[in-house]
Amino acid sequence: MIRIHLNQPLGVSSRLWRFKYNRPRLEDVGARKIAPDQNRRGRQESQRKCVGGNNICFFVTASRVAYFLLVLCPQFLLSQSSASPDVLLLNKSALVAARAAYQKDPSSISPSLWTFLAEAKTALKTEPVSVVDKNQLPPSGDKHDYFSLAPYWWPDSTKPDGLPYIRRDGQVNPERHAIGDRDKIGVLSSSVYTLSVAYFITGDETFAAHAVRFLRTWFLDSETRMNPNLTYAQAVKGRNEGRGIGIIDTHGFVRLIDGLNLLKMSKEWTKPDDSGIKEWFKAYLRWLRESPNGKDEADAKNNHGSVYDVQTCCYALLLGKEDEAREILLEVGKKRIAVQVEPDGSQPLELERTKAYNYSLLNLEALINLARLGERLGVDLWSFEAPNGGSIRKAIEFLIPYTLGKKEWKWKQIVPFEYERMIPILRIASKKYGDPSYAAAAKAVMQKPGTVPRANFSGPEE
């Protein structure tokens, strides 16, 4: 016989241990037999001796131990680690709550979580993408180099060859999709994020295994990996071979980083995988900080500069470079907020665009992510106020009346308003500033026509 001790508060569902108390039957104990009534009395006596507080002590046969180790132990261990997943921008509390709801009864999870897991099952059918699968080579001639075209630049109809291209802000030239690298990064980032979160919630290694396939294909396998640079990102035909502004193309890697952190709990993610991808991001971070294109993007005053900071900070944290991440965050107040946000909360550099509302949201999202990262390293950006009075809170409050339809938007917006993106922003603001009116505004946005409830894993910690 083998005696096992479990501690009930560790998070194992009662269904995972009640099966131990089956009806009495003959059980082997060494070379002798014990009758059911004797076995019951012995078990009860032992239980009285070893139960202390919430400890549970029981006897099981070797076959039951094997069942526990092979079937239940992985879920048990995962449930313990799920208590505090190591993520940067995802909501730990929301992740753990979703996992607990699924473990309790998968058939009664919320519609939004059901939709999310359905999307994860769809992602299982998506084949991993590679940077080498493109029909146009970058100027280097190396198919492993990322290559994309600037979205808002078009052929000049007054020129026979259309060169050099001219800018039409907000109007996407469909030619940008011909190369495909940027679209593949979108598939990669969203797939890894969705699959890794689904793995965390369900404990199903199938999700983790497919996420790992995506990561190995894009970052690790010598035949299919991307070189760690964006030298040829958002090129403009007739003008340049790539621009610093193209660094925003890897903004999706921020979600991918949190997916990586969740996959560390999986048996599918190996030590060579982990060290290999860290080497990739180490080289990429160095390129971002030292290359001419990287330095250009770091100097960008609008949303591009803010998104650059989010990326470099997340990559530094992935690599354990907290001092470098803190250095980036300490500059955000004077370098970003003071430059971008006016005393009334408006963001002029975004309002001058043809998609002014959506770009205002993009920059605000980046500033909020920087504030959340700052919490980890003792840098308070939530309460930072520039000499002119600009702040993150004022930028949020500026957009609320337009989001709720209380004021008419007077700047250009040539595409639909993405009001639903304000929901997590308002929830975070309600928590960080202790103002329930923000939460009420978030609920109001959710009632707007066309808003689809989605599982939210990027809100405030409870």
- Two tokens, residue 382: 């939530």
| Residue in 211, 188, 195 with CA at minimum distance from that of residue 269 | 211
The one-letter amino acid code at 364 reads L
The three state secondary structure string of the chain is CEEEEEEHHHCCCHHHCHHHCCCCCCEEECCEEECHHHHHHHHHHHHHHHCCCCEEEEEECHHHHHHHHHHHHHHHHHHHHCCCCCCCCCCHHHHHHHHHHHHHCHHHCCHHHHHHHHHHHHHCCCCCCCCCCCCCCCCCCCCCCCEEECCCEECCCCCCCCCCCEECCCCCCCCHHHHCHHHHHHHHHHHHHHHHHHHHHHCCHHHHHHHHHHHHHHHHCCCCCCCCCCCEEEEECCCECCCHHHHHHHCCHHHHHHHHHHHCCCCCCCHHHHHHHHHHHHHHHHHHHHCHHHHHHHCCCCHHHHHHHHHHHHHHHHCCCHHHHHHHHHCHHHHHHHHHCCCCCCCHHHHCCCEHHHHHHHHHHHHHHHHHHHHHHCCCCCCCCCCCCCCHHHHHHHHHHHHCCCCCCCCCECCCCCHHHHHHHHHHHHHHHCCHHHHHHHHHHHCCCCCCCCCCCCCCCC
| Residue in 432, 452, 462, 449 with CA at minimum distance from that of residue 371 | 432
CA 224, CA 213: separation in Å to the nearest integer?
12
pLDDT in tens, the chain (462 residues): 333 333 333 333 333 333 333 333 333 333 334 344 444 444 444 444 444 444 444 444 545 544 444 444 544 444 444 457 889 999 999 999 999 999 999 999 999 999 999 999 999 999 999 999 999 999 999 999 999 999 999 999 999 999 999 999 999 999 999 999 999 999 999 999 999 999 999 999 999 999 999 999 999 999 999 999 999 999 999 999 999 999 999 999 999 999 999 999 999 999 999 999 999 999 999 999 999 999 999 999 999 999 999 999 999 999 999 999 999 999 999 999 999 999 999 999 999 999 999 999 999 999 999 999 999 999 999 999 999 999 999 999 999 999 999 999 999 999 999 999 999 999 999 999 999 999 999 999 999 887 776 777 875 554
**Which pLDDT does position 83 carry in this prediction?**
53
**Which pLDDT does position 459 carry in this prediction?**
59
Question: 59 — phi, psi (to 5°)?
Answer: -105, 140
Residues 6+ apart with CB under 8 A from 9: 54
Give the Å distances, CA to CA, from 213 to 78, 128, 184, 206, 264.
21, 7, 14, 11, 14
Domains, the chain, ordered by start: 2-81 (no CATH), 87-299 (1.50.10.100), 337-456 (no CATH)
Is the Cβ–Cβ distance between 314 and 254 less than 8 Å? yes
**Which pLDDT does position 26 carry in this prediction?**
31
- Two tokens, residue 135: 């029909």
Is the Cβ–Cβ distance between 303 and 357 less than 8 Å? no
**Which pLDDT does position 291 carry in this prediction?**
98
